[in-house]
A and B are shown apart, each in its own frame.
Chain A
């Protein structure tokens, strides 16, 4: 994306670049018949390289939406495409960071071996695997925990391991389901900043789900607000705060506060 623009690309208006992922009129009914409408005709794009926050009250269908985007389950109607191709099953190009890191990590494997999982599955040669795992351990600050088992680590460290495992698969989008929801405030802020730095470094596309609206604004380029029963997008805001962001200064910025007020009203009033 960063190089080799053709003349045609340059002539196109900026907004027409192909989105990373596009969700079109996606509905989901579970249970039944007649069943319950969980998601109601949801449409949006995830732009290439953006950090998209999706916020909504508990039970509004955030996790379900993310699972559809990952290809872990199909929608009842509508279509999701990733880089132009329909999403039918999970793919290494779409990494999923689960909220419950305790269940998502393999308790019988060391931190290194957990991170190496996708590399093993793809048959990457031993030497290259070791190099890449070492680099990821360093990047995520896990060098000292390399030989430990997930059960021996704090929650924050375990979530780092899961993120490292996802990075190892070299995804083109990260789908994250309340990854910091179960962590204490300090650990959470640390990981927020690390994730932002990471996303900026790698020009990563991220869809980030949270029920914490401050987190949504602080991290996001855009924030979608979902409402419940049935789940639908009720608002989209462009955050427009410059990066790098700062835990104190950004959160005190008048624009941040304005977004916060607006989202707070929406989440209360649904």
Chain B
């Protein structure tokens, strides 16, 4: 019951909004009307256009995230293991990291043209830093005794990374990946809104330009729903890895 109490304000707001629009008291064009938004959303779902756009956005976000995780973990391990390397590339990383991913849209457009690769590249750029930084600091923080165990057992570099370093750093790498995953959706939609003619961001722009305010709101609600599901999933993964971590303590 206590949980449901949080639903009262939005419901009240929606009811008020609908009532105000129905009585003609609220005539602002940019606000549409809850019932119209609902119908527009249902239509978009039924004809599948919103699902296609969703898939395109998720595809680009996932591609970018995948690249970011692979590149971030690999370079993070190397940087975390080697102090000289960390000192050499550290300033460069600190210089590149604050540049907003979307600032690279023009450059990415030049390289890849419109489409999935360009969007994936921008997402990857935005997502690589949290993964890299989390991995490097996790690897630097590994119990030195474990690395001595690897040395004492004459492990190859690959075995050391695979059997000791990655498992030992996994919990903190996961945190970085979670941050990156949240970021991936934001960057993907932004790229679509700004330039890329695909996905949910582009649908939003189309709806706005054709003055389909109801559809625009429906898409916004759908996006917030996607974000919610993503967060839920990431929380699950986080808790699962946290639990296995605790079991391992």
Please give the residue numbers on chain A whose beta carbons come within 8 Å of chain B beta carbons, in ascending order.
70, 72, 89-92, 94-96, 98, 100, 103-104, 106-109, 117-118, 120-122, 149, 151, 169
A149 vs B248: C-alpha distance in the bound complex, in angstroms? 6
Flag if A90 contacts B154 (CB, 8 Å).
yes
Q: Which of B65-73, B117-125, B133-141, B143-151 contacts A (4 or more CB under 8 A)?
A: B143-151
Residue of A nearest to B155 (CB): A121
Q: How far is the CB of A166 from chain B (nearest CB, A)?
A: 9
Chain B, Cβ-Cβ closest to A103: B145
A151 touches B154 (CB 8 A): no
Q: List 29 A-B contacts (CB under 8 A).
A: A70-B152, A72-B152, A89-B151, A90-B151, A90-B153, A92-B153, A92-B154, A95-B152, A96-B148, A96-B152, A98-B148, A98-B149, A100-B145, A103-B146, A104-B149, A106-B146, A106-B149, A107-B249, A108-B167, A109-B167, A117-B149, A117-B163, A118-B153, A121-B154, A121-B155, A121-B163, A122-B154, A151-B247, A151-B248
Give the residues in chain A near B168, CB-CB below 8 Å. Answer: 106, 108
Count of B residues near A, CB < 8 Å? 22
Q: Is B244 an interface residue (CB 8 A)?
A: yes
Q: Do A121 and B248 form a contact, CB below 8 Å, given A72-B148, A92-B154? A: no
Q: Does residue B223 face the partner (Cβ distance < 8 Å to A)?
A: no
- Give 7 A-B pairs besides A108-B248, A109-B167 with Cβ atoms closer than 8 angstroms: A89-B151, A90-B152, A90-B154, A108-B167, A108-B170, A108-B244, A117-B153
Residues of chain B within 8 A (CB-CB) of A103 are 143, 145-146
Q: How far is the CB of A107 from chain B (nearest CB, A)?
A: 4
- CA of A104 to CA of B151, assembled, Å: 12
Please indicate the chain B residues that have their CB under 8 angstroms from the CB of A118 in the complex.
153
Using Cβ atoms and an 8 Å threshold, which residues of chain A touch B245? 108
Known pairs A117-B163, A121-B159, A121-B163; A107 contacts B153 (CB<8 A): no
- Which B residues fall within an 8 A CB radius of A? 143, 145-146, 148-149, 151-156, 159, 163-164, 167-168, 170, 244-245, 247-249
Distance in angstroms from B194 CB to nearest chain A CB is 43
Looking across the interface, which residue of chain B has its beta carbon closest to that of A96? B152
Report Cα–Cα, A107/B244, bound state, in Å: 10
Nearest residue (CB) in B for A70 is: B152
Q: Which residues of A contact B143 (CB under 8 A)?
A: 103
A107-B248 in contact (CB<8A): yes
Top 7 closest A-B pairs, CB basis?
Answer: A103-B145, A108-B248, A107-B248, A90-B152, A151-B249, A118-B153, A121-B155
Q: Which residue of B lies closest to A117 (CB)?
A: B153
The residue of chain B having its C-beta at the shortest distance from the C-beta of A162 within the complex is B149
Distance of A114 from chain B, by nearest CB (Å): 10
A82 CB to nearest chain B CB (Å): 14
Q: Known A118-B153, A121-B154, A121-B155; judge A104-B248 contact (CB<8 A).
A: no
- What B residues does A89 contact at CB under 8 A? 151
Given the complex of chains A and B, what is the CA–CA distance between A109 and B156 in angstroms? 19
Q: Which residues of A contact B153 (CB under 8 A)?
A: 90, 92, 117-118, 121, 169
